[in-house]
Structure 1
């Protein structure tokens, strides 16, 4: 199975470090990785397909008909931007309400891999809006601090395939991936006026360029102003001529 481009780049970096050590120790003459470039992937990037806030609510109702607890979990993901592996690793102790309600994202639990540090190895705090705060409180109720926060109705660990099957995702997911819930949160925050730097911190993006992808998707203020002009009445010229009265 071919590796993703980013994974190949990381492997190349690790090999280069190892062979550099071999050169310093006089085990080999030169680093065989030096000068070897990783070819760019020709695979088309999977585009984001976030829910609008209204769409998220409609799909939440569909999910709740099948499994109310899992529906709550997915709505929380759509408002917090957690990665799936981060959501699986949250414990009750990671839910805080002082000084403001939020989730402390400190670890990741990819399926089949085991717990590890978050992507980028940095912890972060994600706010809990009023829409999902009561849901998180309910999921934490009666659990010990070390217990998992986001679980199935029976307290079991989240597994992607089980969740998708329980919610009949091909029919209720609207053509999205679970990861699009993360995109949904970022777009929701930006559309509500949260500044990009804050969104970068909440998402855990290492670069603001990643956050700017969402701004590009949503369109800028200039895009909206331009569209507003296009949608005005026929013959509208704009500019200073609007204020000129014909003689």
Structure 2
């Protein structure tokens, strides 16, 4: 199996570099230790099941059990390798198809409400994916307003650009007259190659975003500062075709360096912790809270399917869920008194007795109770 897995990966010449690294890690860390000595032609579903029970029990260097989502991705790598073996008639069927694994759904973003912050401060345990409320987001932007990369954080908060997408923006991708930002590439760190320009994550990720006039003004100030202050201070000419966001010396802004800077700024702000990537989740949740349609949020994030957007974000903002409940209650109860009077009137006429309105004042028919509900709404 060890020889086959490596042979299979070496033959995948059209893989993206990041995908190849991921497959290689799955093979080296999980599949070879648990299946490497097995004979390919003798592999059975029971043997694969035992191997994945061992993989699921694996402890990471941080002392944590491997996440269920990771186990699911390793299974996907093995299935792809064995599907190739089936096509080449080395196996009659794929023994990894019937694996019974724990669900590996991605973590849903948790909003830093007052209760969530209190729980985190008392327990020290933070959600794996978390987003700031509106006031917290505003406080962070105020805190970093004098940082040289303020425009980057502002743009990420407003648009939900991925880390690699925002550092991969070139001047030609930003049209300040139209207020448009085109996503046509991203920067990724590849082992042994440094930062490499690659295509967006998917066809849907290749998109054009419209930004508000305040964001346009922020980007104008950023460009002026790069051209007039930083370039002159460091004795260089501003590269009009270069990256929008750069290191202080004018070079490419490394993604990991940006993440470290963000963690440092997050800590100094005193706000509850989020990851740099969580600004993307925050942009989606804040847009939904502002009443932006789900389809528009999907396009903004570059999701290939609206199902992913809905499953991840549709119920994450408390205000959105609460307002939806209020609107539903208002729709149902708005004309409840008139409807009940009509029903009672029809019933009275059928029985030959007119029922005076307001005669029955129980918990489901009395008008005083309805008035109380309407005042609450």
TM-score of the alignment, normalized to the shorter chain, above 0.5: yes
Aligned equivalent of 2:202: 120
Query: Is 1:59 aligned with 2:140?
Result: yes
The Cα shift of 1:102 comes to 2.0
Q: How many residues end up aligned between the 2 structures?
A: 236
Q: Mean Cα displacement is larger for which, 130-139 or 107-116?
A: 107-116
The Cα shift of 1:185 comes to 1.6
CA RMSD for the aligned pairs? 3.5
Q: Distance in 1 between matches of 2:140 and 2:314?
A: 24
Q: Mean Cα displacement is larger for which, 109-118 or 14-23?
A: 109-118
Q: Deviations over 1:7-61 (max 9, x none)?
A: 5444433432332232332334443323234432499656354334443222222
Higher Cα radius of gyration: 2
Aligned equivalent of 1:104: 182
Q: Deviations over 1:193-232 (max 9, x none)?
A: 3221111011112222332243312324432336889xxx
Distance 1:7 1:145, change over 3 A: farther
Aligned equivalent of 2:15: none
The Cα shift of 1:97 comes to 4.0
SS in 2 for 1:118: coil
Q: Distance in 2 between matches of 1:9 and 1:190?
A: 30
Q: Distance in 2 between matches of 1:43 and 1:199?
A: 19
Unaligned stretches of 5+ residues in structure 2: 1-59, 112-129, 228-237, 342-356, 360-377
Q: Mean Cα displacement is larger for which, 41-50 or 82-91?
A: 41-50
Question: For residues 1-247 of structure 1, what are the structure 2 equivalents within 5 Å?
Answer: 1=60, 5-41=68-104, 47-48=110-111, 49-64=130-145, 67-97=146-176, 100-111=178-189, 114-115=195-196, 116-122=198-204, 123-141=206-224, 142=227, 143-156=238-251, 157-158=253-254, 159-164=257-262, 167=265, 169-172=266-269, 174-177=271-274, 178-212=276-310, 213-218=312-317, 219-220=320-321, 221-225=323-327, 239-241=335-337
TM-score normalized by structure 2?
0.52
The Cα shift of 1:78 comes to 0.6
Select the structure that is richer in helix: 2
Q: Distance in 1 between matches of 2:176 and 2:150?
A: 23
Unaligned stretches of 5+ residues in structure 1: 230-236
Q: Which one scores higher on RCO, CA 8 angstroms, separation ≥ 6? A: 1
Distance 1:128 1:238, change over 3 A: closer
Q: Retained in 2: the 8 A contact 1:5–1:41?
A: yes
